[in-house]
Structure 1
Amino acid sequence: MTSHDLRTELASLTTEAFRPELADIDRLPTLEIARLMNGEDAGVPAAVAAELPRIAAAVDAVADRMTRGGRLVYAGAGTAGRLGVLDASECPPTFNTDPAQVVGLIAGGPDAMVTSVEGAEDSAELARRDLDALKLNAEDSVVGVSASGRTPYAVGAVEHARALGALTVGLACNENSALAAAAEHGIEVVVGPELITGSTRLKAGTAQKLVLNMLSTITMIRLGKTYGNLMVDVRASNEKLRARSRRIVALATGAGDEEIEEALTRTGGEVKHAILALLAGVDGPTAARLLEECDGHLRAALAHAPR
């Protein structure tokens, strides 16, 4: 694509549109600029709401694959890639997932998290190599993320993943995007032109973060990683999380501090096991066996516990 063709394509995108009414924004008082930004951001949830049926369908499809051992892989460039890496990196401490279970790929690799890697987003071949390095298979799910919906790295990732039989989701912020068209599940959250022309780290980035929150969180709920709205698979890797673990057990069981400490000790600090041990009156090994038989779903384990 020539430079002229690219400029023409970008000019047609809602996310790149120029807003002449904001041409003097740099002359406004700081508080007024802040009000403008806040007003712009207020419309993002409504744009996400319009895509909820498609988001829900994508979640159910991803959860189905992950139940069978598949992985969730995000692929994007720039802000979109960083948001995918962020969402993936927060799954292990929040839901006790294996770091290889939810993966974030960013065009240009780890260096691109903090700096621009020249030309990386323009390479569909780079996306194919990154996915091949993961030994992607048909049980996996790949979510391509791109505000414009045309980024070659994200589109290339989805096209390659689909050719391999993997589930594919395309998350964009423009209608009729190449990314959504390439994916089995297309999600287009149209937030409109940015306050600063083309700065898609703003509303588009916020919209992508909200959707990625839903994709990972609701998938983990479907996988039994929560009990009600409690993070019963939380990994207690620091003092704050250890304190949170005790509080979660208390909220789920109503047990006293001594009982909670004893249950956590008996179950090796596993919150879900401790809750089951307290609510069902079983020992640590029995709690572990019941949860294994029920694929980690605490409610199901409680239902199957001896009376």
Structure 2
Amino acid sequence: MNSDLQIRHDWTIEEIEKIYNQPLLELVYRAATVHRHYHPANQVQVCTLLSIKTGGCPEDCAYCGQAARYNTGITVKPLMSAEQVVGIARRAKEAGSSRFCMAAAWREVRDNRDFDNVLEMVRGVNELGLEVCCTLGMLSQSQADRLQLAGLHAYNHNLDTSENHYDEIISTRTFDDRLTTLNRVRKAGISVCSGGIIGLGETHADRVNMLHTLATLSKHPESVPVNALARVRGTPLEELPKVDTWEMVRMIATARIIMPASMVRLSAGRSEMSTEEQSWCFMAGANSIFTSESDELLVTPNPRLDDDRKMFELLGLIPMSTDKHYA
């Protein structure tokens, strides 16, 4: 069997570094070969991401426009009602989404009425036949168990960056805190969605190290989002340069090779990429994108759904069916 087609959890940093640093065209070819072995080449999962509670977060993530301590001009909005959320999810399914992701700008989940409302949202979206995903911050084990019982399919909790670079970006929770939440999600029987952001001032070694952490978990995350920094005015990282598309392609391709069965999600940063640039990401192994009813992804720009439909038609891509379950 081709060694690239094996699912491994014993990757070394040196092995991943060698893959990451190989000539770009060879890297993309290898990744495309792996992708076609594990996934339909022409199918892309369309996911709708909704901010169910916006802004006012007590964390200090240096990239985030929702952090209360930064003056970003974002309007703080309270938790939406379950009825509102389920209505948006229904329209998302009609528009072609098969996964519905709900994000709340919280540091951690608290056992209160808001969490009860989120559980009601999960139940309602699940009844629509959509994969339902949440990203709510840190979880206790009992909270993860309650989400699973409500029908939660997946939980997103990104590492963001490498353990070495982490303290340069966030001080209000630790890298180990993130791994603890991932372990609790896994123990609850919920699918894990975890990736990171490039363009945070990290080195190539940091990117390799972040991928190494994910690829050496006892079970790979079923979903690996790859985000380019969306520079938000008022945050400490607002002056950093735009992430080069080829850096995104290299990151996606490496993730595809070392975590072959995972969904690799082309996430934040698409608004600054042309159709041609996005097509390279799909060729490199990305098989999911995020959309929303507006032209924003949470609080940063995102392509409009009509533009994505045109891109799919041009590239011969089709949305994954809502009557099948993908990780």
TM-score normalised by length of structure 2: 0.30
**If each structure's helix is expressed as a fraction of its own residues, which one has the higher value?**
1
Which structure's residues are more often strand, by fraction?
Answer: 2
Instruction: Report 1 or 2 for greater relative contact order, CA contacts < 8 Å, sequence distance ≥ 6.
Output: 2
Question: Which has more radius of gyration?
Answer: 1
